[in-house]
Amino acid sequence: MGALGEGHKLTETERTRIIKTYRECLPGDMGLVVGVRSQATDPAKSMVLSARDLGADAILLGPHGVQKDKPLLEYYQQVSDAAQIPCIIHDYPAVTGITLSVELITRIFEVSENIHYIKLEDPPTGMKMQALNRSAGAGLNVFGALGGMYALEELELGAIGIMTGFVYAELLVQLYNLAQTGQWKQAADLFYDFLPLNRWEFQPGIGVSLRKQVLKHLGVFTTAKVRHPGPDADSRTMDQLFRIVRHLQDKGYPLDSGHSAHSN
């Protein structure tokens, strides 16, 4: 329920049902992160308490809509204190409309005992990661994101993981494992192979539709319906996407092609 999907289009009843369902389905040793973003502090506190009570292990906390440092600092401190579980700053100005400076993020980290992470989606991500490391130190852990578009370089700079909506997550897992074992040449080869798929999936406007279509194609979803208002990807765009998937399959990547006409 971060920025990529349709969390902002859910009713409270739907939101509760989804969190409960994920908690029931996930293995006990797998952490559940729930996205929360509100235009005001008190509703955000209510949302994080509800998510925690439903089984969330951490909160992906987006900012409110006021571009002023003092209210943003107070929001993050108060909401993360209320959560009493780890909170991840969601730094994605293209979606939230709010720019979090390195100085502000550092201050939030310093005064908020439950904030030790940031999902950094403010490009150039590599430069901001380095600036945060100098300002906040190694205690502020960075998740690479932004569709996985810069995942290799972010891991090289010390990102602790990749938090994004890329459908073929097994490729991200493989990339992460190679990075963890210092196999950077193999990691780069893998990344350069699947980067065109990242690019196509991460298209502004239709990214949600593309990913829903792929998940339906793979048998994960039963429908690719995008909630209104929201555009649907056309059939030609989907054909172009699955051309990239077939290219990766031809190179030996074991991606499930499904059984739709796209794989023919």
Q: What is the pLDDT of residue 262?
A: 38
Query: Which phi and psi (to 5°) does residue 209 adopt?
Result: -65, -45
The 115-120 sheet, strands edge to edge: 33-36, 58-61, 87-91, 115-120, 141-144, 161-162
- Report the distance separating Cα 8 and Cα 96, nearest Å: 12
The mean per-residue pLDDT over the stretch 191-196 comes to: 98
Sequence spans of domains, the chain: 203-264
For the stretch 42-91, pLDDT in tens is 999 999 999 999 999 999 999 999 999 999 999 999 999 999 999 999 99
Q: Tell which residue, 241, 191, 197, has the closest CA to residue 216.
A: 241
For the stretch 200-220, pLDDT in tens is 999 999 999 999 999 999 999
Q: What is the pLDDT of residue 263?
A: 36
- Report the distance separating Cα 72 and Cα 101, nearest Å: 11
Alpha-carbon dihedral sign for residues 94, 95, 97, 98: negative
Q: What is the pLDDT of residue 179?
A: 98
- Report the distance separating Cα 157 and Cα 26, nearest Å: 30
Please state which of the ranges 95-104, 142-151, 231-240, 251-260 shows the lowest mean pLDDT. Answer: 251-260
Q: For residue 74, what are the CA distances in angstroms to 101, 103, 136?
A: 15, 15, 18
Q: What is the pLDDT of residue 257?
A: 58
Q: What is the pLDDT of residue 209?
A: 96
Q: What is the pLDDT of residue 260?
A: 40
